[in-house]
Amino acid sequence: MKAIIVPGVTDLNKGDQCLVWESYRLLDDSGCFDEIRILENGDTEIERDALCGQSKSAEFRFCHNLLKHPRRGRHIEGEHLKESFSSFLRMGFNAVFDFLSLSFLLLICRRKKLVEVFFSKEVCETIEYIRGCDLVAVKGGGFIHAYGERRAPYIIWFFLFYIRLAHKLNKKVVILPNSFGPFDGLTVSWQVKKVLGKCGLIYARENVSSNALSELLGRHVPVFPDLGFFLKEANTSAVENILELNEINNSNVVGVTVRPWRFPGHPAPNERYQNYLSVLSYFVKHIVSKGYKVAFCNQSIGPNAHEDDRNAISEILSGLKTERERGDVFWINENLLCSELKSIYSHFFAFVGTRFHSVIFSVTSLVPSLAIGYGGNKAKGIMSDLGFEGMTMPIESVDLERLIKAFSDIELGRSEYVTGLSRKVESVFLKRNTMIDELVEYVS
């Protein structure tokens, strides 16, 4: 039996890398499949090397990605935090072309000869592999959401493309634990309902998303853990060198992840973004004043500036020159594997994460964590399911006093926090076997 994991992997984002790798391990542990492939990512050789290089080194097998990004070969070049007008026009043209050509592919994908006439050899090879698959698995994550933007109809079409293709080829589809919603925007709810309603097996990764999608589809969507909970640490020489160089132990360092964010739908996005950075800068100074060191970590360094945490880290560090000079604040500025990052996070006293998989890596290592939520329901839903509602706040209203209060609560009750976290995480691990059993039953 064969399977494919969609959409493509992004090794520069360690949360995404973790989800693809853990999706693969879940399918592999089921014992059902002789061959499992994942989709590559990137439109040029440089992009493919950056976005898939670590996965290729880990000896995963790939299929060519059919769905190019509208940015077309400029995904990892230049600054894209704020798009120029000409860039928007170029991406708009590419998006229209992709929609028309790939909608045509959906119409003819069952007819091998026609596909060979109109599409490239790489496209034909991917279609042929999917045609021979027994399962199309949508990796875990949180990408099926929209905020009412004008481009929301295309965004959702883009995200649902491979599921549509699987349906056209009469393939079984499993959607591994995802966050779903909000579904704001023209045709968004309609598209999600039409496409996901045909999927045989769907998992939500927290109750907020389960409730939202269950209501939309009119059927119960069960909750299973985010696959990041199951990632194993890798204690490599690179990890040991970082720990030794920065003198990191479990009592003196607080880890921090930040990210660029456009604040979609907000009337003053630039103002909100600067407020977010400013609050975190003052919070870091507060932590340092209490005798801790702060380690900024690269949870994601691409595939573009909007997804490159180094941009946000650099801005914050520019206002922390004195703290850096004293050695109270440092930057682990490395392109590490997701499993190596998790190993480093396990040595922190506490963690403050905007990138939510950095929080998952931390809590599964029993490190008390504060989550700053963005992009859908994932942070609020998962932290609530763990019983730590007070340890999360939305990025739109991040507040210095609330952060200080939450960190003080960790200091005062760290042992109780860790004990409670241990019980919750242990119960989460048991659910992986249930998911494997259901997967085996579904494909058999």
Model confidence pLDDT, tens digit, residues 194-229: 999 999 999 999 888 999 999 999 999 999 999 999
Q: Is 28 in the same domain as 159? A: yes
**Residue 162 confidence (pLDDT):** 97
Reported confidence tier of residue 75, pLDDT bands at 50, 70, 90:
low
Mean pLDDT within 412-436 = 87
Lowest-confidence pick of 3-17, 311-325, 414-428? 414-428
Which domain range does residue 330 map to?
Answer: 233-412
More confident residue, 429 or 241: 241
**Residue 376 confidence (pLDDT):** 67
The interaxial angle of helices 414-443 and 14-29, nearest 10 deg, is: 50
Residue 16 near residue 38, CB atoms below 8 Å: no
Q: What percent of the chain has pLDDT over 70?
A: 96
**Residue 80 confidence (pLDDT):** 47
Q: Calculate the dihedral angle through the C-alpha atoms of 289, 290, 296, 299, rounding to the nearest 10 degrees.
A: -140
User: Has residue 323 been placed in a domain?
Assistant: yes
Lowest-confidence pick of 89-98, 103-112, 120-129, 255-264? 89-98
Q: Is 110 in the same domain as 18? A: yes
Residue type at 322 in one-letter notation: T
More confident residue, 216 or 93: 216
Mean pLDDT within 394-401 = 92
Return the number of other C-beta atoms located less than 10 Å from residue 193's C-beta. 15
Mean pLDDT within 379-384 = 77
How many folded domains does the chain comprise?
2
Q: Is 88 in the same domain as 181? A: yes
Q: Is 95 in the same domain as 177? A: yes
- Torsional sign, CA 138, 144, 150, 153: positive
User: Has residue 424 been placed in a domain?
Assistant: no
**Residue 422 confidence (pLDDT):** 87
pLDDT (tens digit per residue) in 261-310:
988 778 888 999 999 999 999 999 999 999 999 999 999 998 888 889 99
pLDDT at 73 over 70: no
β-bridge partners, 174: 137, 201
**Residue 70 confidence (pLDDT):** 82
Return the number of other C-beta atoms located less than 10 Å from residue 106's C-beta. 14
Pick from 295, 288, 287: nearest CA to 345: 295
Residues 6+ away with beta carbon under 8 Å from 441: none
**Residue 79 confidence (pLDDT):** 46
Residue 69 near residue 76, CB atoms below 8 Å: no
pLDDT (tens digit per residue) in 165-179:
999 999 999 999 998
Mean pLDDT within 310-329 = 94
Q: What percent of the chain has pLDDT over 90?
A: 72
Looking at residue 43, what DSSP letter applies? S
> Tokens 């259901």 identify what position?
438
User: Has residue 142 been placed in a domain?
Assistant: yes
pTM: 0.91
> Tokens 């989460």 identify what position?
428
More confident residue, 30 or 430: 30
User: Has residue 23 been placed in a domain?
Assistant: yes
More confident residue, 146 or 154: 154
pLDDT at 318 over 70: yes
Give the integer Cα–Cα distance in Å for 51 and 76: 9
CATH number, domain with residue 250: 3.40.50.2000
Q: Cα-flanking dihedrals φ and ψ of residue 253, to 5°?
A: -125, 135
User: Has residue 256 been placed in a domain?
Assistant: yes
More confident residue, 316 or 391: 316
**Residue 147 confidence (pLDDT):** 82
Q: Calculate the dihedral angle through the C-alpha atoms of 251, 252, 255, 256, rounding to the nearest 10 degrees.
A: 130
| Paired tokens of 298 | 């690269």
User: Has residue 417 been placed in a domain?
Assistant: no
Q: Is 238 in the same domain as 196? A: no
> Tokens 């928007």 identify what position?
88
SS3 label, residue 177: strand
Q: Is 238 in the same domain as 165? A: no
**CA 259 to mean position of chain CA atoms:** 12
Beta strands in 298-384 (DSSP E): 329-332, 350-353, 369-373
Q: Is 319 in the same domain as 216? A: no
Length of the chain: 444
Q: Is 271 in the same domain as 372? A: yes
Residue 345 near residue 355, CB atoms below 8 Å: no
Q: Is 363 in the same domain as 269? A: yes
Is 233 exposed, middle or buried, given 0-12, 13-18 or 19+ CB atoms closer than 10 A?
Answer: middle
User: Has residue 182 been placed in a domain?
Assistant: yes
**Residue 82 confidence (pLDDT):** 56
Mean pLDDT within 15-20 = 96
**Residue 85 confidence (pLDDT):** 66
Burial code of 163-190, b = ≥16 C-beta within 10 A, e = fewer? bbbbbebebbbbbbbbbbbebebeebbe
Q: What value does the mean pLDDT of the chain take?
A: 91
Q: Is 22 in the same domain as 103? A: yes
Pick from 95, 119, 96: nearest CA to 107: 119
Residue type at 156 in one-letter notation: I
Mean pLDDT within 399-406 = 94
Residue 20 near residue 152, CB atoms below 8 Å: no
Q: Is 51 in the same domain as 79? A: yes
Q: Calculate the dihedral angle through the C-alpha atoms of 27, 29, 31, 35, rounding to the nearest 10 degrees.
A: 50
Q: Is 85 in the same domain as 220? A: yes
User: Has residue 418 been placed in a domain?
Assistant: no
Lowest-confidence pick of 22-36, 258-272, 289-303, 385-399? 385-399
**Residue 93 confidence (pLDDT):** 85
